[in-house]
Structure 1
Amino acid sequence: MANPNILLTRIDNRLIHGQVGVTWVNHLGANLVVVANDKVASDEVQQNLMDMVLPDTIQARYFTLQKTIDIIHNASPRQKIFLVVRDVQDALKLKEGGVPIDHINVGNMHYAEGKKQISSTVSVDDEDIEAFNKLSELGVELDLRKVPNERGQNIMELLNK
């Protein structure tokens, strides 16, 4: 069982949008965007809206977390995968489920009541912090950055301020 060619995993509660569908895809040289999210996997309207953002040359797949865990190792080596999840809990479930995630780009986690803002685009609560700590303990590099040409920040340093 070969490891899938996952170029990058990104946490972005907007999933596929302009930054992801154009800027990041082009920067990475990805030819497949896999959105791992239980709700979106069964929401064709949302899938169609996200597909409209992607260039015609880029494919997208929308899987539940469990299906992603079950099939990611079947990916062809020529599939250059950009894995996108909605939140840090989904990323942790994938990692714990055996998806080979070594590096996560933390892009966008909206502010909500009970969350504290740690950057202009990322807000966290205790549950998020716990999941980030577990990912870090599992050896995952956690890089906060909106766009590829921005200097990244280690999210663990921001959480421990």
Structure 2
Amino acid sequence: MGANLILVANDEVASDPLQQKLMKATAESSGAEIRFFSLEKTIQIIGRAADRQKIFIVVKTPKDVKVLVDGGVPIDEINVGNMHFAPGKKELTKKVYVDQSDKDDLHYLKTKGINVYIQDVPGDHKTEINF
């Protein structure tokens, strides 16, 4: 996707060296640098990113994206993926399961003018999310 920085915005991962080590190993193959910030730190520093940085932000939940957007993080599009099955969640695709809270947050993000879709890998068809 041309990103030169992967930013994992998650309060739990920001303070967990083991999860960071596992994600760093995966990121190395992409050629991009990787950073781990809490949601609040992401909100505080994203505006200081250099123009040359193309940042790919990874979050755990739609609620996390909502927190970032409400905090002023400029997000134009959201590729929803790897939201696994859990009790109370309904299948959107084979890799995306959502509950009512997820639906509400994704709908909210769409009302902010953000393009919300599911795309397993670059080049695949984008499936727009509509609720």
Common fold: TM-score over 0.5:
yes
The aligned counterpart of 1:39 is 12
Q: Is the counterpart of residue 29 in structure 1 residue 2 in structure 2?
A: yes
In the alignment, the residues of structure 2 paired with residue 138 and residue 105 of structure 1 have an alpha-carbon distance, to the nearest angstrom, of: 15
Q: 1:67 corresponds to which residue? A: 41
**Matches of 2:76 and 2:52, distance apart in 1:** 19
2:89 and 2:103 map into 1 onto residues whose CA distance is: 10
* Distance of 2:117 and 2:103 partners within structure 1: 14
Residue segments in structure 1 that go unaligned for 5+ positions in a row:
1-27
Quick check: 1:108 aligned with 2:82? yes
Cα distance between partner residues in 2 of 1:114 and 1:54: 32
Supply the distance in 2 between the matched residues of 1:87 and 1:32 (Cα, whole angstroms): 20
1:117 maps to 91
Q: Report the aligned-residue RMSD.
A: 1.1
Q: Does 1:54 pair with 2:27? A: yes
Q: TM-score scaled by structure 1?
A: 0.78
Please give the alpha-carbon distance, in whole angstroms, between the structure 2 residues aligned to 1:154 and 1:141.
8
* Whole-angstrom distance in 1 between the partners of 2:105 and 2:121: 23
Q: Distance in 1 between matches of 2:4 and 2:106?
A: 28
Gaps of 5+ in 2: none
Q: TM-score, normalised by structure 2?
A: 0.95
Counting matched residue pairs gives 130
Q: Secondary structure at the match of 1:146?
A: coil
Counterpart for residue 55 of structure 2: 81
Instruction: String of CA shifts for 1:122-144, please: whole Å, max 9, x gaps.
Output: 11111001101110111111011
Partner of 1:97: 71
The one of 103, 109, 113 equivalent to 1:129 is 103
**Aligned AA (1:132):** L
Task: Tell me by how many angstroms 1:55 deviates.
Answer: 2.6
Matched letter for residue 71 of structure 1: I
